[in-house]
Structure 1
Amino acid sequence: MPGNEVVLIGIGEIGGVLAKGFLRLGFSVHPVTRESDSQQLAARIGQPALVIVAVGENALSGVLDGIPEKWRSGLCLLQNELLPDDWQGVDSPTVISIWFEKKPGIDAKVIIPSPVFGPQSELMRRALAAVNIPVTVLADEEQLLFQLVLKNLYILTSNIAGLRTGGNVGELWQHHQTFARQVAGEIISLQEALTNRIFDREALIAAMVTAFEGDPQHQCMGRSARARLQRALSHAERLKLDLPQLHALQQSSAEQ
């Protein structure tokens, strides 16, 4: 049976918030860094209550490949740009879409409640509640997929549109709404192609605007914006999907 222990793979800012929450619940938290021998740790601590994979999206695939077998049944994933295909081979992970921002030396800033689904959803809710971060426990996989696509829409629209507009998400929606909607439409088309599903576009955009309103000062263009644009276009090329706004942004970005 799972014990009163949590394994945390990746000790960045988000990982630190989660560690604090679980420590407040009385759990032992075992950090795993690049230098750690996870197989040795797995042999020593037994079956943890949860194994949180808190690495960035670019590192997720490699980390999942190296997860000790006895940990695979208790994983929690929280990456950006996450979709079900990203956890193929992992049975029933707990998945949380993180909607709080944590920067060094500053308390976590909540944008909207973070939705979670999976076997340890309630445990994640309790841990984050212990550090005053609200979580919504979802009812089913359909709701989870919508929430993952929503997070992707928010990140990709703000980052990619921000390559042209700069500024923050409040300004993006107030002053560049037509352009933002065009970019968002292409991002939704991409998400539909990646998931082989059709989504309610207006519901997604309305939910994105709610997130914009949760932190209107949030800057559009993060340091990963150009990489996100390139990754989106790589997916589109593979899926034979035409995204003219994104192609135009790539061209104008290359000329700068």
Structure 2
Amino acid sequence: MKNPIVVVGLGELGSVFARGFLRLGYPVQGVNRDQNMTQLANDIPNPEAVLISVGEADIHQVLSEIPDSWKNKLILLQNELLPRDWKAADLPMPTVISVWFEKKKGMDSKVVLPSPIFGERAKLVFDALAKVDLPAYIVDSEEELLYELVRKNLYILTTNIAGLEVGGNVEQLKNEHADVMQAVAHDVLEIQSYLSGQTHDAERLITGMLEAFDGDPQHGCMGRSAPARLKRALTFADHANLEVPKLREIARNAL
């Protein structure tokens, strides 16, 4: 019998991964918000892996509550994730996937790009996604993982925040509002540099973002989380004394 895989947060994304793990032959133990992880860790002290699939607003609280026996088993998949998030919780290097498929209630998973994975359990995640026909690939360094995390953050934040001003989809953002897209993207990258503690190749990242645009041209820009993402970005900018003029302009008009 294989050791179970614990899935903390059985929403749409968590359920996709759980199905993949089950098809690989692993028992899966779901954990909801009301359950005590420390108590559960007494029953499952040595899981094969622990997937944290809560939303980005809950990730810091959940990471602070991870039982000691699970800390070296973690798989993370949140948007807006950076190394500072697991380091702040004093956790060892987790396995991390930058998820480039969308899963909403009542619809099949929609792939934008193959999803990159890094870490000790990268092959486990890769194999689980293959079982549910979702493309992924394994990156071989923390540097490449950081690029992939920043690229996803750039995509999410640029489309959401620009969408507060121009609406529409990503194809329209690229073709009809390139000035807004570029201004927002450069502000976002300033914040990402502050949060990650290093500068990034803006040209490579914007090219990578546009590759994702081409993967799903009709993807709507402004998700329901857009106002919260803008507020969170401005909080970071304030801490770092960053000007981010375009983000502040959009906030004055949209929030």
User: Distance between the aligned counterparts of 2:195 and 2:60, measured in 1?
Assistant: 17
2:131 counterpart of 1:130: yes
Partner SS, residue 241 of structure 1: coil
Partner of 2:222 in structure 1?
Answer: 221
Query: Post-superposition shift, 1:195?
Result: 1.2
After TM superposition, the structure 1 = structure 2 runs for residues 161-176 of structure 1, keeping only pairs within 5 Å, are 161-176=162-177
Q: Which runs of 4+ in 1 moved over 2 A?
A: none
Aligned to 1:145: 146
User: What aligned pairs does 1:12-51 form with structure 2 within 5 A after superposition?
Assistant: 12-51=11-50
For the 8 Å contact 2:100–2:114, the answer to whether it is kept is yes
Letter in 1 for 2:75: C
Distance in 1 (CA, whole Å) between partners of 2:40 and 2:196 is: 35
Contact preservation (8 Å) 1:3, 1:47: no
Q: CA deviation at 1:167?
A: 0.7
Q: Which amino acid aligns with 1:8?
A: V
Q: Which amino acid aligns with 2:28?
A: V
Q: Secondary structure at the match of 1:207?
A: helix
Contact 2:86–2:93 (Cα < 8 Å) also in 1: no
In the TM superposition, 1:76-155 aligns within 5 A as 76-88=75-87, 89-155=90-156
Question: Match of 2:74?
Answer: 75
Contact 1:170 1:217 in 2 (8 A): yes
Aligned to 1:59: 58
Deviations 1:176-233 (A, max 9, x none): 1121011101111111111121111111001100000100111100011011111101
1:83–1:145 Cα contact (<8 Å) kept: yes
Please name the residue that 1:184 is paired with. 185
Gaps of 5+ in 1: none
- Return the TM-score normalized by structure 2: 0.97
- Counterpart CA distance in 2 for 1:55 and 1:45 is 20
Percent of pairs with identical residues: 49
Q: Deviation string for 1:103-129 (max 9, x for gaps)?
A: 111110110011110100010000001
Shift of 1:64: 1.0
- CA root-mean-square deviation: 1.1
Instruction: Tell me the amino acid that sits aligned with residue 45 of structure 1.
Output: I
Deviation at 1:3, TM superposition (A): 4.5
TM-score (norm 1): 0.97
Query: Conserved in 2, the CA contact under 8 Å of 1:3 and 1:48?
Result: no
Paired residue type of 1:216: P
1:229-254 alpha-carbon deviations (Å, 9 max, x no partner): 11101100000111100000000113
> Any conservation in 2 of the 1:98–1:114 contact (CA below 8 Å)?
yes
What whole-Å deviation, never above 9, does each CA across 1:23-47 have from its counterpart, x for those lacking one? 1000000000012222222111231
2:7 and 2:50 in contact (8 A); partners too: yes
Partner of 1:242 in structure 2? 243
Query: How many angstroms does 1:162 deviate by?
Result: 0.3
- 1:122-177 CA-partner distances (Å, limit 9, x unpaired): 10000001000011100100000000000000000000000011011111111111
Deviations 1:34-74 (A, max 9, x none): 12222222111231111000000110111111111100110
- Residue pair 1:149, 1:191 contacting (<8 A) in 2 also: yes
Q: Which residue of 1 aligns with 2:7?
A: 8
